[in-house]
Structures are given as structure tokens and as C-alpha cells.
A and B are shown apart, each in its own frame.
Chain A
């Protein structure tokens, strides 16, 4: 009895393995196809997030479509890289191939829950801000997460660092910005990140000229 059963059992085990392979193969093939078809669009979308942010903080009008935004970026933005190939800062040109009009600096630092990644635009004097955009943040939704709201970002245009904080809703001078109520740590984090990183960026930009 047991000898008669053996080949049957073996065949069933082999079928199980074969079945798993076959199903995996079919689904992997389908997924690969979809991946290849959408790869370029996804890559473009990802690079556009940063490009749009750079254009926005430089005070330029960001076009609606991705292709136009990409074209404007190519014309007006020059990436200045270090030896490692990562971007130190961006030069914004006043016309395609023209003179430098302002700078955009990538600014990273600690928020309350995690790293806050942003790009900040500064005038040629390296003191006056032209704008800020947050690219990566994990702050509390509804509290610290409000840093991505446009009233908060827009208030930085024309401000000069070193910055300090005033309560939300109070009038702010040209070296002050309004805090977010209930998000003291996030607000102070941003103040410190901006003051430290912009000072460092100032040195870096001056050194490379």
C-alpha cells in the first residue's frame, strides 16, 4: 500500500511546487510589464516634486503641467554640486543662460517626530528669504503638519534671518514669523533649522565664488 502511494505523493508535492512557480511567474511577468510601462512617468513625477518646489520658493510662477515646469526649470535653474555629486545649492538665473538672480538652498533638520526636508530661496544678499517649501515632514497632522499650509509658507517671503517666533495671529516684523499654535516644538525646530542652515549655506555659497 505504502509503496503504491509514494509516487502519487511525490507527484503531488512536485505539482505544488510547480504551481507556486507558475503562479509567481505569471504575476511577476504582469507586474514587470506594468512597471516598465509606467517607469518613466513615475520618475518624472518624483523629480518634478523637487523641481516645482525650487521654482516655487524662488518666487517664479510654477506652470500647471509637468512638461512646462520641467522646461522652465531647465531654463532658469542651475544646480551647483559638490565633488560627491549631491546638490549644494541652486542658482536661479534672471533669464535663460543669464546672470544669477537668487539662490535656493536645500535645508534639512530635526522636527518633532522626524526629519523636516525643505528648500529655501534667498536673495543675492544671502539674508532675505524668497520663499520656503517643505518636501518631507512627519509632523502631527493638524498641528505641526500645518507647516505645509500656504499661509505659513507664504509669510517667509521677504523675511530676513536670523529669525525669531511670534504667536500665531500676531503681527510679525521682518525678522520674525508666526508660530503655529499647539506646535511649539515644530515651530522652534524650523526656526533653528533655518537659522543654522542658512548661516552654513551663506558660507558655502561665498566660499564657492
Chain B
């Protein structure tokens, strides 16, 4: 029963209820940090850390948090973890920290984290919330990594900073700039929804599939 629930949560966050390509959350950082693979990996690791631990903390405190100030408490918890990520990056990988610039601090405003804390952690036990947070983070991460892989390949002819395409390759400058991310994300959503999610479309159209308190009423089948 329990492991079934874990698997269910995991499957929803990575697949049918994916935060990026189904709920369209966290787009700001999807556009901003996916021009180079290395930065994206660091960003994703930071986000997985923050979603996991903030969900866990909110869930542990959920019986004590007064309803009226729950948003304040959630923001405080999320902000604390984001600052930890920022400080650790500055101390141990300063180069990447400089390149990511303000985007690490902006993890605070990533809707995925607040959304999971509100919609899931406040009403579920800690371990399940931790799994939910981590899997939401992973669902976000693999989408970003695919986009970053393609953008770096097409935009710089390189992967992880190493040139893989020969001199015959002309870099697509637009892929490095923000508009390239829009194109890539749109293509990604198109391919995924067109090929892998066809049979789920009827489910998302039915009204009872709307998950309670989810920030995106259009999300598919969130009955977790």
C-alpha cells in the first residue's frame, strides 16, 4: 500500500503531472539557465535539494503551523534552504555561482516549490512529502537537462563545454539566447504531448481530475 503510494507520487511528478510540461511551472529558470549544460546541472541539483527538504520540513511542522500564517512559514523555510544552496555554491564552486548569478536566489520564487508545499506537504506525512518533493524536482530536472543538452549542442556545438561538432558546424546563436529556450520548450512540449500523452487527454478533460488545492487547475489526474 505504502510503496504503491510512493510509486504513484513519483510517476505523477515525473510523467503525467510533470511540473514543467504539464503544469507549466518553473518556466523562468527553464528559460534562463538552460543555455549551458553545466549550469543547468547545478541549478537542478539546487532545486531538487530545496523542493525535497522544504516539503519534508513543511510536512513535519504541518500539524503546528497556524493556518493563517502558513504561507509565511513556507516562504521562510524555502528561503532558508535557498540561501544554504547559494552560500554553498559561492564557497565551493564560485565560477558556476558567478555564472548563475541571481537565478540561484530566484529558486525561492520557483512556483514548483511553493506549489508542492501548499498542495502536498501540508496534508501528507513527511516521508511521502519528501518523495513528492524530490520527484517533482527530478521531473523538472530531466526536462531542463534535455533542453540544455539540445541548446548547448546547437548553440555552441559543444556538450559540457567540450566541442563535439566539427568546424563545419555554424553555431545557432539564437539557441543561446532566451528566445531559443522558448522554441526548444515549445517543441519539447509538442513532442511529448503529441506522442506520449495522447491517451491521458480524456482524463484531464474530466472535472473530477482537478487536484485539491493544486496551483494549476488544469493539471491532469492529481488525486494524490
Report which A residues bind B (CB closer than 8 A): 12, 15-16, 19-20, 23-24, 27, 30-31, 34-35, 38, 41-42, 45-46, 48-49, 140-143, 182
Contact = CB atoms under 8 A, between A and B. Distances in A.
Interface stretch (B66-74, B107-115, B136-144, B202-210): B66-74
Nearest to B35: A141
Contact of B80 (A27, A45, A46, A140): A27
Contacts of B84: 31, 34
22 contacts: A16-B69, A19-B65, A20-B69, A23-B76, A23-B77, A27-B77, A27-B80, A31-B80, A34-B84, A34-B87, A35-B87, A38-B91, A41-B92, A45-B91, A46-B94, A48-B94, A141-B176, A142-B35, A142-B171, A142-B173, A142-B177, A143-B177
Interface residues on B, range: 20 to 34
B94 A30 contact: no
A23 B176 contact: no
B121 to A, nearest CB: 15
Contact of A45 (B69, B76, B90, B155): B90
Contacts, number: 60
Interface of B: 35, 61, 64-66, 68-69, 72-73, 76-77, 80, 83-84, 87-88, 90-92, 94, 98, 155, 171, 173, 175-177
Closest CB pairs A-B (n = 8): A142-B176, A45-B94, A38-B91, A27-B80, A16-B66, A41-B91, A142-B173, A42-B90
A47 to B, nearest CB: 11
Contacts of B83: 31
Contacts of A27: 76-77, 80
A116 to B, nearest CB: 15
A140 B155 CA distance: 14
Nearest to B83: A31
A107 B147 CA distance: 37
A30 to B, nearest CB: 7
Given A34-B84, A35-B87, A38-B91, A20 B73 contact: yes
Given A12-B66, A45-B94, A141-B35, A24 B173 contact: no
A90 B77 CA distance: 45
Given A23-B73, A27-B77, A141-B35, A182 B173 contact: yes
Contacts of A182: 173
B32 to A, nearest CB: 10
Contacts of B35: 141-142
